[in-house]
Amino acid sequence: MISSSELDVIIVGGGPAGLCAAMYAGRGLLRSVLIERGVPGGELLNTEWIDDYPGFEHVLGRQLADLMTAHAVKFGADIRQDTVESIVRRDDGIFAVATALGQVYEAPSVILTAGGTPTKLEVPGEVEYAGRGVSYCAVCDGAFFKGETLAVIGGGDAAVEEADYLTRYAKKVYVVHRRDQFRASKILQERLFANPKIEVIWNKQVRELKGGPAGMQSVELVDTETGTKSSLAAAGAFIFIGFRPNTGLVKQHVVHDPAGYLITDDRMMTSIPGLYAAGDVRSQLTRQITTAVGDATTAAIAVEKYLADRKSRLAPKAQVGV
């Protein structure tokens, strides 16, 4: 096991991006540690089936997580279960990563792969039917609902855009919004209203998600104005009421987009030298397993080059004899 004073890179987060970064760090013979607050796998552990990862036509999320973890460990990944509380870059260019267990890891580079957290409805049935009807990713799970009736919960850009996307699979998509107008951009709204497979249910709030052994079967609603209760039959509920990237761990200012996602260059480096971002914490078009591991591959290889350049800059200049 590597001591915290001998590290080249600290990887924060053990989802697909973190595990991929750890694998490449091992292949590059970098002295690294991966810190993950729970079981490695990230959101893979909350996904029942995956059918859009190359080479796996149909694989359980937990199975893919186990395979990725084993692959990283084979190349020497040092995975430690702890919760990172802060990431700070000192004036000497060394990062101090503090954890809940009182450890402080130090290294000249950090790859942040801490992902993000979808905002939950926090209603009965949401946890029970997660992966069995309840989803937070239309691109990931939409294909499992061919010919079904679906409910999309939310009223922002993500909800409106993903509802339109889901109509390529579902026979009917209901958009449930607690207000009487969307927050989404006008162009997305126009596209949604023009789609004959979409119907909007205004002024309704979800109070429960019901189902049976086979999965979710209905969305129980309450009118936000009258309090009247109703039930909407649906095989799936796609929840898009917000997503928070886990970027608050960085205690210094780092350039980000309006939603809080970190902006990087083409090597995945952020505005803080030596701090790289990969996966769901990074500002990009889409957030998939494939893009997460692609980001991580680039970041890990870029770290090798960054460390070599740093070593060259810090090396004592050769003395020229008289």
Query: Which one from 8, 78, 141, 295 is the annotated catalytic residue?
Result: 141
Residue 144 burial by CB count (10 A; 0-12/13-18/19+): exposed, middle or buried?
middle
Active site residue 137: yes
* Dist CA 224 CA 205 (whole Å): 6
Query: Which one from 20, 78, 137, 164 is the annotated catalytic residue?
Result: 137
Residue 293 is encoded by which pair of tokens? Answer: 């591991």
> Which runs of E-coded beta strand occur in 21-143?
32-36, 49-50, 59-60, 79-81, 84-89, 95-99, 104-107, 110-112, 116-118, 134-135
Active site residue 141: yes
Q: Are 33 and 134 in contact (CB under 8 A)?
A: no
DSSP 143: G
Residue 33 is encoded by which pair of tokens? Answer: 């540690």
- DSSP states of 59-77: EEHHHHHHHHHHHHHHTT-
Active site residue 20: no
Query: Which one from 20, 78, 140, 295 is the annotated catalytic residue?
Result: 140
> Which runs of E-coded beta strand occur in the chain?
9-12, 32-36, 49-50, 59-60, 79-81, 84-89, 95-99, 104-107, 110-112, 116-118, 134-135, 149-153, 172-176, 198-201, 204-212, 215-223, 229-233, 236-239, 243-245, 275-277
User: CB under 8 Å to 202, separation ≥6 — which residues?
Assistant: 177, 179, 180
* Dist CA 10 CA 30 (whole Å): 10
What SS3 class is residue 238? strand
Catalytic residues: 137, 140-141
